[in-house]
């Protein structure tokens, strides 16, 4: 997109030492936000008179091509470790690549931006399919994100994806996640047990938590004392991953300052594992994510 940006959107660089990534800073009567060209990743969103919705690590070094910890990373075309080649980046390549800004408009509800990504020689060397991704975001009184996955190849392909959303919270120990009561889950810390676990009350957090739920309903709420409830709606997504690294894993990750794990919770809506999607040649599927608080 070569035309000038609409009012209320300004290009900026986020830098750390010799590294820098290009972002767009958005400001309108409804919210303030930041989105990176890398991964079309929302890094910051704050509705007027509200606290920031998303957590962004202050330990990011903003190396081009390295996943940014925080905001809403998009995991595509696989979730977690690559099923066959552990040398490949976890969570796929979409979050590590520069996307193209295809459209940007100022409208009566705020700003709407659309980023696109298609196959390259580099992606074909990893995942040999023609595809087009489109991420459309409405930055308004709520945050509305829509992923469209198009199979532009002549053969079907299978993909997995997740919005790896990092939510800003006061204290993980005082936080509850609603909407997963009675849904069986896989504890990724003890995967051999399969989807044998189920709880009948809201999820609470007392230690490292890394769970995959399937057929999960698509509507969740994060609540805590002295905190505005966060509503997460992903009606087209059947999977959700719930993650907090806790102290020891957070230290191992190397880009999370001490104790910062206490102020974040990942609720990751998508299609992962057994819910991976078979997309026929020429087919397009859409996955909305609406975040409000
Ligand atoms: O959110 C689930 C998970 O797969 C965790 O196991 C942990 O690895 C997390 O994603 C973060 O992954 P990343 O590659 O962003 O460091």
98-133: per-residue pLDDT in tens?
Answer: 999 999 999 999 999 999 999 999 999 999 999 999
95 lines ligand 1 (CB under 6 A): no
Query: Half-sphere exposure of 250 toward its Cβ, with a 13 Å CA cutoff?
Result: 22
Locate 136 and state its tokens: 């459309």
What is the distance, to the nearest Å, from the Cα of residue 186 to the centroid of all Cα atoms in its chain? Answer: 20
pLDDT at 1 (0 to 100) = 56
Instruction: Name beta bridge partners: 145.
Output: 137, 289
Copy the structure tokens of residue 193: 């047990």
Cα(80) to ligand 1 centroid in Å equals 7
| Residue of 90, 162, 209 to mutate, ligand 1, most atoms within 8 A of C-beta | 90
Smallest CA separation from ligand 1 atom 4, residue: 80
Ligand 1 centroid to residue 110 C-alpha, Å: 32
Q: Is the CB of 136 under 6 A from ligand 1?
A: no
Low-confidence stretches of the chain (pLDDT < 70) are 1-3
Residue nearest atom 8 in ligand 1 by C-alpha distance = 80
How far apart (Å, rounded) are the C-alpha atoms in residues 224 and 70?
20
Gap between the Cα atoms of 287 and 186, Å rounded: 23
Question: What is the distance, to the nearest Å, from the Cα of residue 220 to the centroid of all Cα atoms in its chain?
Answer: 15
Atom of ligand 1 nearest to the CA of 243: 1
289 Cβ inside 6 Å of ligand 1:
no
Distance 277 CA to ligand 1 centre (A): 20
Task: Determine whether the shortest distance from the Cβ of 53 to ligand 1 is under 6 A.
Answer: no
Give residue 2's pLDDT.
Answer: 53
Residue with tokens 């974040």: 264
Any ligand 1 atom below 6 A from CB of 217: no
Distance CA 227, CA 51 (A): 9
- Model confidence over 250-268: pLDDT tens digits? 999 999 999 999 999 999 9
Q: Residue 226: what pLDDT?
A: 85
Pocket-testing residue among 80, 87, 213, 273, ligand 1, by greatest number of atoms within 8 A of Cβ: 80
CA distances to 77, 166, 240, 243 from 232, in Å:
22, 12, 11, 15
Residue 27 CA to ligand 1 centre (angstroms): 30
**pLDDT computed for residue 64 by the predictor:** 95
| Cβ–Cβ < 8 Å for 119, 131 | yes
Phi (first) and psi of residue 112, to 5 degrees:
-125, 125
């Amino acid at each position: 997109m070569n035309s000038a940006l609409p009012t209320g959107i300004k290009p900026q660089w986020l830098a750390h030492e010799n590294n820098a990534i290009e972002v767009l800073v958005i400001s309108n009567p409804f919210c303030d936000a930041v989105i990176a060209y890398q991964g079309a990743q929302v890094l910051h969103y704050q509705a007027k008179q509200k606290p920031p919705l998303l957590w962004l690590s202050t330990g990011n070094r903003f190396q081009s091509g390295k996943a940014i910890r925080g905001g809403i990373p998009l995991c595509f075309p696989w979730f977690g470790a690559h099923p066959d080649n552990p040398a490949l980046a976890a969570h796929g390549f979409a979050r590590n690549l520069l996307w193209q800004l295809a459209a940007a408009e100022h409208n009566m509800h705020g700003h709407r931006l659309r980023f696109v990504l298609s196959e390259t020689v580099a992606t074909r060397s990893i995942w040999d399919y023609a595809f087009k991704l489109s991420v459309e975001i409405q930055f308004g009184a709520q945050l509305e994100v829509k992923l469209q996955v198009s199979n532009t190849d002549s053969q079907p392909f299978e993909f997995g994806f997740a919005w790896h959303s990092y939510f800003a919270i006061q204290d993980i120990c005082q936080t509850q996640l609603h909407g997963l009561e009675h849904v069986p889950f896989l504890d990724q810390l003890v995967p051999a047990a399969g989807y044998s676990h189920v709880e009948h009350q809201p999820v609470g957090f007392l230690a490292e938590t890394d769970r995959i739920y399937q057929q999960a309903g698509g509507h969740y709420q994060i609540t805590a004392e002295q905190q505005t409830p966060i509503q997460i709606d992903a009606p087209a997504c059947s999977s959700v991953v719930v993650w907090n690294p806790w102290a020891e894993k957070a230290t191992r990750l190397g880009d999370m300052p001490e104790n910062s794990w206490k102020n974040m919770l990942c609720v990751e809506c998508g299609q992962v594992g057994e819910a991976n999607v078979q997309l026929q040649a020429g087919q397009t599927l859409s996955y909305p994510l609406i975040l409000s608080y």
